Structures are given as C-alpha cells and as structure tokens.
Structure 1
Amino acid sequence: MSFLLLVSSLIASLTGAPADIRPAQETTTEPPLSALLQCRSEPSPLIRLDCYDRLLDKVDNIAVIPLEKTGPAWRQAMEQEMKRTDHSTGFITTQSEGIPTRVILTTPAIGVLPPRPVLMLSCIDNITRIQVALAKPQDSGTVMISTDITQFSADWFLRENGYLLESSRGLPGIEQLKRLMTGHTLTIKTGNGSQITFNISQLEQAVKPLRTACRW
C-alpha cells in the first residue's frame, strides 16, 4: 500500500464534505522490529528507502494524516512529491510561466518510514520560503539545523495546525538557505527531539531557478 496513493485520494476528497475525510488511523499490522532494524542499517539512503517501502507493502493499514487539519502549503508539498516515480531523493522542481514566476522544489525525508516529511523550497510572489511538511504535528517551532558544513539554531513558525514548519520569509530565509547550499545532507532537529534528514547534495544547482525568480 502506498502512502502517496492514500494522500492522493484524501486530497481529492477535499472537494467533498469534510465528513468524507477519514481520521488518522493507527497501524494494525506492523513490520517486525528485526526487519526495520535491518533496513535502518543499510548505508545507502536509496537502498534504505526501498527496504522500508518493501516492508510497507506487507502492512495492512498505514496511518492516515487527517487532511482537514493540514493546509494549502502542506498539500502543495505532498502533491508535488506524488510526481516522483522512483525512490530517488533529488529535488523535484516545478516552475510557472506566469509573472511573477513561481518556483517550487521538494525532496522527501530519508531513512524514515512513510508518511515521510517533505522539504519544500519556493519562490512565490517574489518571496523565498523554506518549509517542511510534517507527518505529525509539532508544538514548537524551535529547531536545530545542521549540515556536514554548518550548524545553527532558529525559531521557525508553526503553521497549518502544527503540520508545517516554516522559516522566516524574505531576507532571513535567504540567509539560512545560503548556509545550506554547500551541504550534502540537512538534518532538522525539532523541539520535541525528533530528527528529520534530507538529501541536499544537489541543492546548489537545483536552487538556481528559485534564485533567479526571487532575484538573489
């Protein structure tokens, strides 16, 4: 069972009444711990993702995120990730043809079971944004951001009922994004102690359309 298919059907259901949206459900059949640990020990992020996905094919019920509690930015990130047809972790980029140009980059978290958080970088209305669509709501926007090059703390905003982490927009967000551009992996440690890691090895090249659109 694919989490993206679940999200796709749920997003489609938003055109109907809120009652049509199923509440979150807990997994009733879980992969064995030994199998999860074996996946976790895989050194390659891509092999690790594939290992987790194969385990989930055997799971009967996967937790469903209640979409009535999420918002448009969260859905934008998840919808863009639905275009991914393999287990790659490079950035997917979409760019509008209108004025002002709208550029959106997304990449999924690595080394975790679905539903996976999604890192979304964007230039919308000439404003640079760094956002993370979360699988579970958070209650604190304080984050520790680290790459293999740099580390710093920041107070990000919690939006969309705690399902979206967002940096300060504009110049502060640009400065934070610049600090990430030479890294290979990005790890965000949230206020509750959980860690989310993303592959950003292609960021410096991938972010060029965004920089052009937002003129920095």
Structure 2
Amino acid sequence: MPEAGGAVMSLFTLLPLLFTPFGPAPLEKSVQQCQKEQSAELRLACYDALGRVTATAAAPTQNETGWRLDEDAMSGDMTLTRQAVPGAAFSVACLNTITHIRVRMTLPWEGESVTATTDGVPASGNWFVRDKGRLLEFGRGLPAIDELKRWSGQHELVLASASGREVRIPLTGMGEALKPLRQQCRW
C-alpha cells in the first residue's frame, strides 16, 4: 500500500505542469521535474502532461485570410504559411533573424527553372529548385525581404515551370500577416 500512497503524492507533482506558463526556463525546470520521478509510469505520465501543455502553448494562429503563423517554442523562430493550389505550401520564415521564402511541393517540380509573376507582371527569377523538386526556394535575407515588400498588396503569385505546370499562391492579407515576422527579423 505504501506504493499507492507514493503514486498519489507523485501525481500531485504533475498538477503544477497544467498551470505553468512555458518559456525556455520553466520548460527546462518541468523536464527536470519529470526526470526525478522514480516510477517509469509516472515519469511517462509527467512527460505526456508536459507535451500536452507545451503543444497548447505553442499552437499556431490562423487568420481569416488563410495565413497561419507558427512560432517554435524553443528558438522563437517564426514561420508564416499558406496553402497553395495545387498541392503546395508557401512559407515565409524568420530563422535566426534571416528571412526565407519557400514553397514545399507534394509532387516534385519538373525541371530546374521557375518563372514567377505577381498579378500577371513578371517577378524576380531568383528561385532555386531543391530537394529533388520537392522544395522551391527563393533567395534569403535582403533579396527575400525586397521581394516580399513588392508582393505586399498584390493578389496572387504564380510560379510556372518550363513544362507549363503552375502553382498559384494567394497573397491577399500577406502584408498584415507578415507584421510579427517582420518585427522578429527587424525589417
């Protein structure tokens, strides 16, 4: 019976996890608290509770225009994402204060060239085909920032391959959605 009493007492150590605001320091303390649990079952329950709380704290936000903002709980890096048609996800990220523009493809891109237009007007051709055609990446840093500024206020970005494949990315609301990322990347 002493084991049951110890288990109940140890369960009380899990309760603070449910009400703890998470940042880097409290998260580290909570992990250390879980590591101190003697029982493997209680240790696992502690980690599970910790995972549920941090997942809730770092839940992405999505605005009414379809933009979704994610923030990495550990690094603070931000990624703004929007689904594109057909089968692609457009993202703008601030990683280590460097701006990145990427399009992740579900089906590989054919060829090595990408032609871009915004609202029918030719845009920069600074795109690279990576990861066996599964990733289209625009130049990083200042070139990416300059292009994002040009795209703000536009309605649609169209990426086309030499074979005629097109990916259409709605840009409506991007300027407003970019504000937190712009602050983080200091532009």
1:211 equivalent in alignment to 2:171: no
Pairing of 1:60-75 with structure 2 (within 5 A): none
Question: Would you identify which runs of 4 or more consecutive aligned residues in structure 1 move more than 3 Å?
Answer: 96-99
Task: Tell me which residue corresponds to 2:83.
Answer: 108
Q: Distance in 2 between the 1:142 and 1:121 partners?
A: 20
Letter in structure 2 aligned against 1:159? R
Instruction: Check 1:166–1:94 CA distance in 2 against 1; reply closer, same or farther (3 A cut).
Output: same
Post-superposition offset of 1:118: 0.6
- Aligned identity (percent) is 32
Instruction: Check 1:187–1:178 CA distance in 2 against 1; reply closer, same or farther (3 A cut).
Output: same
Task: Tell me which residue corresponds to 1:90.
Answer: 66
Instruction: Check 1:206–1:157 CA distance in 2 against 1; reply closer, same or farther (3 A cut).
Output: same
Q: Distance in 2 between the 1:211 and 1:149 partners?
A: 26
Q: Which of 90, 98, 120 does residue 119 from structure 1 map onto?
A: 90
Structure 1 residue ranges without an equivalent (≥5): 1-82
Instruction: Check 1:154–1:141 CA distance in 2 against 1; reply closer, same or farther (3 A cut).
Output: farther
Post-superposition offset of 1:153: 4.0
Tell me the number of residue pairs that the alignment of Structure 1 and Structure 2 aligns.
127
Q: Distance in 2 between the 1:147 and 1:172 partners?
A: 16
Q: Distance in 2 between the 1:95 and 1:178 partners?
A: 22
Instruction: Kindly indicate which of the two structures has a greater share of residues assigned to helix.
Output: 2
Post-superposition offset of 1:201: 0.5
Q: Distance in 2 between the 1:89 and 1:161 partners?
A: 31
Instruction: Kindly indicate which of the two structures has a greater share of residues assigned to strand.
Output: 2
Pairing of 1:1-216 with structure 2 (within 5 A): 90-96=66-72, 101-110=76-85, 112=86, 116-148=87-119, 150-216=121-187
* Contact 2:90–2:103 (CA under 8 A) maintained in structure 1: yes
Letter in structure 1 aligned against 2:164? G
Post-superposition offset of 1:97: 5.1
Instruction: Check 1:89–1:161 CA distance in 2 against 1; reply closer, same or farther (3 A cut).
Output: farther
Taking only aligned residues, the RMSD between alpha carbons, in angstroms, comes to 2.4
Cα offsets for 1:63-90 (capped at 9, x unmatched)? xxxxxxxxxxxxxxxxxxxx799xx761
Post-superposition offset of 1:138: 2.2
